[in-house]
Amino acid sequence: MPRKILSKTEIPMATAAKILSEHEAGLSPLQMRVLSYARRYSRLSPEQAELLVDRLMREFDLSRREAVQVADICPTTVEELRVTLGGYKRLVASLLFSEEKMQAIVDLVKAAVSGELE
């Protein structure tokens, strides 16, 4: 019986790793590769990643997709953040060109990586 997709939402890589690890025994080889990749490259815990995504959406008016991308990449400089956000169609000039906002996002990411985000 085919499965039906009920909804779609972007999730951080750390959350994907958590979900896949809960079902690790029954994963296909492709899913095991995805789990291995997610474990290797996610820099945040699932909880910190979700907190970061929520704060980025609420405080900086990023879309969920943009916030998840920032949480997955964890840019540590304004230049890295500018490249991360530069590929999206909705370019907000006030956000992308305001050094203060960009630095605030980078500081928030650094706090999440160090586990200090609440």
What does the pLDDT read at residue 94?
46
Residue 80 lies in a domain: yes
The model's pLDDT over 83-117, given as tens digits with 9 standing for 90+, comes to 888 766 555 544 556 788 889 999 999 999 998 87
Residue 82 lies in a domain: yes
What does the pLDDT read at residue 96?
55
CATH number of 98's domain: 1.10.150
Residue 3 lies in a domain: no
DSSP string, the chain: ------------HHHHHHHHHHTGGG--HHHHHHHHHHHHH--S-HHHHHHHHHHHHHHH---HHHHHHHHHH---SHHHHHHHHHTSS---HHHHS-HHHHHHHHHHHHHHHTT---
The model's pLDDT over 1-41, given as tens digits with 9 standing for 90+, comes to 688 988 899 999 999 999 999 998 999 999 999 999 999 99
Residue 106 lies in a domain: yes
Question: 62 is in which domain, residue-wise?
Answer: 46-113
Residue 61: pLDDT band (50, 70, 90) is confident
When pLDDT is averaged across residues 58-80 and rounded to a whole number, the result is: 92
When pLDDT is averaged across residues 47-68 and rounded to a whole number, the result is: 93
Residue 31 lies in a domain: no
Number of domain units in the chain: 1
What does the pLDDT read at residue 97?
62
Global pTM reads 0.84
